[in-house]
Amino acid sequence: MKVISSLKEMTLFSKKASAKGSIIGFVPTMGYLHEGHLSLVRRAKKECNVVVVSIFVNPSQFGPKEDLAKYPRDLKRDLALLRPLGVDVVFYPQAKVMYPFGCAAYVDIGGNLTKKLCGAFRPVLFKGVTTIVAKLFNIVLPSKAYFGQKDAQQCVVLEKMVKDLNFPLQVVTLPTVREKDGLAMSSRNSYLAPDERKDAAVIYKSLMLARQMIKKGVRSSIKIKSAMIKELNTVKHIELQYISIVKAETLEDLKTLSGEIIIALALKIGKTRLIDNIRLKL
């Protein structure tokens, strides 16, 4: 497994691999890897000849009061997790190499897609994500890129970017990997104190409650959201940011549920912001 920090070297590697007919699978990450990331790597390994994983905590997707400085980082641990999976390259650029002149050119998906749900609470998030992912695609030149459904809005936004800007690659979205009690795996779970970690299980419980109601035939968005809020309120110190029930492909709000839907929520437990969602076909 090679660790490459130079942009030129990364692109040269990819060009050589492509020239040999290799399909390059790419897993962009911010490191501090967990089983969710590893499931993407395993899938990439199955579907591609060459697998590149990037580790880059992207400053442009963090707001000024967000957790950029304290975002967990542990390269040694990440490399030890990736090595046994047969990863070919870990792309590990420095911020000053990725953004040598700051960033004057951005990729920004207009309209409502990036302004709602998480975008309403993290206004720079998606502009930062689309910009860095576009840069990474241009450097790594993958045929397939893998993302986790836990970041449901990110997946929809990136699909839109790839389509609208004609990136010659396929976006693959894979299911959320969960802890035993249902908590979605996230690098940010490491911020949770033990009592907060216990409380965090209520997120998945509320999503399962929604799923149960839908199974029983409930189709009213308001009814489902109210029941979820009641469930979430069984735990103290939760600050709900949003619960949204939306069309899976467009993230349009739904009053009455039908078709493919996503039920997504974001909340804070103490100082830690967590997100989760489920996707259902009605």
Residues with a known catalytic role? 37
- Round to whole Å and give the CA distance between 140 and 24: 8
| CA 55 to chain centroid | 13
Least spacing, CB of residue 222 vs ligand PAF, in Å: 31
Cβ neighbours of residue 20 under 8 Å, at least 6 residues apart?
A: none
With both helix axes pointing from N to C terminus, report the angle between 152-164 and 125-140 in degrees, rounded to the nearest 10. Answer: 50
Least spacing, CB of residue 30 vs ligand PAF, in Å: 4
Q: Given the complex with ligand PAF, which of 61 and 206 has the nearer CB atom?
A: 61
Least spacing, CB of residue 260 vs ligand PAF, in Å: 22
Strands in 170-174's sheet, in edge-to-edge order, are: 2-4, 89-91, 50-55, 24-29, 144-148, 170-174
Q: Given the complex with ligand PAF, which of 85 and 213 has the nearer CB atom?
A: 85
Interaction site with ligand PAF (CB under 6 A): 28-30, 58, 61, 129, 132-133, 151, 154
Q: Given the complex with ligand PAF, which of 29 and 221 has the nearer CB atom?
A: 29
Least spacing, CB of residue 208 vs ligand PAF, in Å: 24
From the list 143, 189, 206, the residue with the least C-alpha distance to 35 is 189
Q: Given the complex with ligand PAF, which of 129 and 141 has the nearer CB atom?
A: 129
- Round to whole Å and give the CA distance between 78 and 95: 18
Strand partners, 277: 264
- Round to whole Å and give the CA distance between 187 and 101: 29
